[in-house]
Amino acid sequence: PYIEGGIGLIYSDFQVAGQGLRFNFNPQLGIGLDRLTGETGWFADLRLHHISNGNLHHDNRGINSLALVTGIYF
């Protein structure tokens, strides 16, 4: 089991609805589990993503989403 977190910057060529700018922040937090079985393995994460412009513009509704991410190591 593990906990992960981070923050990123987003600039898009289209404007995200409810955001006054094309530049936004993307903090995220997640928990996960991974297992190694021989030469291969798998992982599963549950992540909370947030997108907002950090109040750099008056139109800053913010968008929250949950993501389930799975994968295989090989």
- List CB contacts of 28: < 8 A, sequence separation 6 or more: 4, 5, 6, 7, 8, 47, 48, 49, 50
The pLDDT, as a whole number, for residue 55 is: 87
Res. 56 pLDDT band, cuts 50 70 90: confident
Domain that holds residue 16: 2-73
Q: Give me the CATH number covering residue 26.
A: 2.20.200
pTM above 0.85, yes or no: no
Q: How many domains, in total, are found in the chain? A: 1
Q: Say whether 59 sits in a helix, a strand or coil.
A: coil
What value does the mean pLDDT take over residues 48-63?
89
